[in-house]
Amino acid sequence: MRKAVKWNSPFYGVEGQGWFLSVHCFTKYVKVAFFRGTSLRPVPPGESNHKEVRYLDIHEDDQLDEKQLATWIKQAASIPAGTADRPPAGRRRDSTSCRSE
């Protein structure tokens, strides 16, 4: 597992397979980005301008389906990237990336 922080958002990835997830906190919600989200089943609801990216917006009063979120994260981590070690379009790899324990 790899992690990095860019634009105050943590990125998570698998060594040699690139990034699969990012989380960004806004004032009223948290946005979870699945970089290969169109490959997940079911596909997360939030669309993106990027072809493969899908989002899940989590608001404070939402009833979060934790089981579904965990399933998406496991699926996302297991999907090999087309171009290893590259963040999605519009994102740059952070030079402070490190391995998590």
The predicted structure's pLDDT at residue 18: 86
* Sequence-separated (6 or more) residues with CB below 8 Å from residue 55: 31, 32, 33, 34, 37, 44, 45, 46, 47, 48
How many angstroms separate the CA atoms of 29 and 60, rounded? 6
pLDDT (tens, 9 = 90+) of the chain, 101 residues, equals: 788 887 778 999 988 888 999 999 999 999 999 999 999 999 999 999 999 999 999 999 999 999 999 999 999 999 876 543 445 444 444 434 433 33
The predicted structure's pLDDT at residue 82: 53
Q: How many Cβ atoms are within 10 Å of 39's Cβ, its own excluded?
A: 15
pTM of the model: 0.76
The predicted structure's pLDDT at residue 8: 77
The predicted structure's pLDDT at residue 60: 92
The predicted structure's pLDDT at residue 34: 96
Can you give the residue ranges of every domain in the chain? 2-87
How many angstroms separate the CA atoms of 101 and 87, rounded? 21
